[in-house]
Amino acid sequence: MCEKLLTTIPFGGFYETCWSQAIDDEEANYAEFFANEMQEEIADYLRLSESEVAEILFRATDYKIAYNRFAKAYADAYDKWISDALGWNVGLKFESLDSPREYNFYTDRIFCYIPLESVKRLFDISAKEDHKRLKEVIRERFTSRDGFISFYSNNLEEWVNKPIYQWDHNEIGTLLIAIAPPFDDASWEFYEDMAYNGGFYQDWEAAVNWKEFERLVEERRQEKLSDCHV
């Protein structure tokens, strides 16, 4: 029997959320800083504008790196949050980030490993409450409706009769939501935890190929120089 299972954790994704904006803001701030503060020794006609720097940064950045770094930090922060909320160490460990090619049907998901013993403990807590909250969450998440076909039963009995070690990531993620207090990943307190000690900047900075950035900056300046000689 596996000693750890896979689960999703509550996450609003990157599409039009404060999280993607946080990464974008770091890029925009650097573009402004570079354009206004890092070209003092460059002739005026060779200086790059803020928009030019931003365009070069976009070309030199692998945003998957930034988002994966962010997702790991998010998983750590959520584990701390839920462990503090429940009063015991849940033990979530980041496994992967899953991002869709297009945001038509679902958003980004963060997967974590969770000890089997923690899942059993969560299940026992739910059982002491006759699974009332779990029943509500199952119905909210897995009842088919117009535009949504659920591949999971919304019948509580089918869930609780299944051995807990056979539960998949969506089922365990549902149990987490049912047992934990209401969680808002965009709350100011959680946002501050994520931003602590320059977290967003570090995530973004690590995603930039700085040698490529320098090459593209020099290439653009050579284009400006050529234009002056025409």
Give the closest residue to 175 by CA, choosing from 156, 189, 194: 156
What pLDDT does 1 receive? 57
The pLDDT profile of the chain, 230 residues, written as one tens digit per residue, is: 569 999 999 999 998 899 999 999 999 999 999 999 999 888 899 999 999 999 999 999 999 999 999 999 999 999 999 999 999 999 999 999 999 887 767 889 999 999 999 999 999 999 999 999 999 999 999 988 877 778 898 999 999 999 999 999 999 999 999 999 988 887 888 888 888 767 899 999 999 999 999 999 999 999 988 877 55
pTM assigned to the model: 0.90
- Spans of all domains in the chain: 4-115+169-228
Q: According to the model, what pLDDT value does residue 36 have?
A: 94
The predicted pLDDT at position 8 comes to 96
Residues 6+ apart with CB under 8 A from 205: 26
3-class DSSP string for the chain: CCCEEEEECCCCCCCCCHHHHHHHHHHHHHHHHHHHHCCCCCCHHHCCCHHHHHHHHHHHECHHHHHHHHHHHHHHHHHHHHHHHHCCCCCCEEEEEECCCCCCCCCCEEEEEEEHHHHHHHHHHHHHCCCHHHHHHHHHHHCCECCECCCCCCCHHHHHCCCHHHCCHHHHHHHHHHHCCCCCCCCHHHHHHHHHHHHHHHHHHHHECHHHHHHHHHHHHHHHHHHHCC
